[in-house]
A and B are shown apart, each in its own frame.
Chain A
């Protein structure tokens, strides 16, 4: 990895100022960015660690009943502390990577990176979450803009993510066994105003909503309703782990399982 200047500010304002430097990049838990830098796929000149900002850590319940998670909160903390408020979200966080990775990796880091096979984008899009940054609030539907692409501007930091709590939800991940990323992952959440189905791992465009499934589930929230559907069309990823057809099929299977398990 190429060398860089390191800073670890204690407040969001200091972090924003530090990120104003040329070729500066924010560092969450480093579980993706550091391996990427080792491969020289990224070479920031300044790295600004966000893990020293206490105001960006922790979980709380808003007056509106949303689960609010600080951007620098680790997956392990979400798995442990969101369980009482939003079990499907906590379960998703508890199956990212492995225990040591979960002790470092953060929700803000994952969402800012928007890996097409990451789990958190499915939860955020499937829950209609709001991404809060140092400057604005972004609806999940506007936030995800394709593989590794988001609505974030240069130097913008995810300070918090707010999840409305659904009546029922479940996440089903078909694990790619070497990386433990989702070969296909489907997050299903049933809200009073409708069902949302978000799919990760499958599409070349990154996380997406499977609207055909949402429509039938709005009529009947059952696995049978999914069984009657054709697999989603669209630009599915094809690689040595699975063909496009295989992934599309998995989307349907995992959606059915998520609906059956939703609680």
Chain B
């Protein structure tokens, strides 16, 4: 076991991990932060997306030890300081951007990464950006709508719910 230290949602955390421990496993099992989901475990589905040093990554395909010293942000760090939902999270609720909710942490983290670089994305840009996030419930329309709304754009033209 080797000790790893990183910053997660602004807090410095440490833990003992094996070489093979994935960042997703360290978050879920080491830190008991189970908001980050492991879906496919093959970097296809995107349920495990977190931000590492400001960039969206699939935490099932990053070794915990490779995140030594990194700034990590997870879905648990997305809400506002007073506990209310962030703009993106609120938009997912308002526009019914989830059903079972399994993909939602990854969707929200990907959406946040997109809007950081591209504050007013087109519908096409949103759909392309979400290529690596799979949802088996919603058919994506309402997720796209939520991200459009979160970016302050009119959602009237997006496909019907």
Q: Which of A94-143 contact B (CB under 8 A)?
A: 97-101, 103-104
Contacts of A98 in B (CB 8 A): 46, 131-133
Contact surface of A with B, Cβ cutoff 8 Å: 1-6, 8, 27, 30-31, 34-35, 37-38, 47, 49, 51, 76, 97-101, 103-104, 178, 180
The stretch of B58-66, B79-87, B95-103, B136-144 in contact with A is B58-66
Contacts of A35 in B (CB 8 A): 42-43, 61
Q: How many residues of B contact A (CB 8 A)?
A: 29
Q: Are A47 and B19 in contact (CB under 8 A)?
A: yes
Contacts of A76 in B (CB 8 A): 55
Instruction: Compute the total of residue contacts between A and B using a CB distance below 8 Å.
Output: 78
Task: Tell yes or no: B150 within 8 A of A by CB.
Answer: no
Q: Are A101 and B68 in contact (CB under 8 A)?
A: no
Q: Are B19 and A4 in contact (CB under 8 A)?
A: yes
A34 to B66, CA, bound (A): 12
Q: Which of B101-135 contact A (CB under 8 A)?
A: 110, 113-114, 129, 131-133
Q: Are B43 and A3 in contact (CB under 8 A)?
A: no
Q: Are A3 and B19 in contact (CB under 8 A)?
A: yes
Most buried by B among A34, A37, A178: A34
CB nearest neighbor in B for A44: B19
CB nearest neighbor in A for B56: A100
Q: Are A49 and B63 in contact (CB under 8 A)?
A: yes
Interchain residue pairs with CB less than 8 A apart (25): A1-B20, A3-B18, A3-B19, A6-B19, A8-B65, A27-B66, A34-B63, A35-B43, A38-B42, A47-B19, A49-B63, A98-B46, A99-B114, A99-B129, A99-B131, A100-B43, A100-B58, A100-B110, A101-B132, A103-B52, A103-B55, A103-B57, A104-B61, A104-B62, A180-B131
Q: Are B43 and A51 in contact (CB under 8 A)?
A: no
Q: Are A31 and B61 in contact (CB under 8 A)?
A: yes
Q: Are B61 and A5 in contact (CB under 8 A)?
A: no
Choose from A3, A99, A104 the contact partner of B20 (Cβ within 8 Å).
A3
Q: Are B43 and A31 in contact (CB under 8 A)?
A: yes
Q: Are B43 and A6 in contact (CB under 8 A)?
A: no
Contacts of A2 in B (CB 8 A): 20
CB nearest neighbor in A for B52: A103
Contacts of B56 in A (CB 8 A): 99-100, 103
A30 to B22, CA, bound (A): 11
Contacts of B46 in A (CB 8 A): 98, 100
Contacts of A4 in B (CB 8 A): 19-20
Q: How far is the CB of B59 from chain A (nearest CB, A)?
A: 9
Q: How far is the CB of B39 from chain A (nearest CB, A)?
A: 13
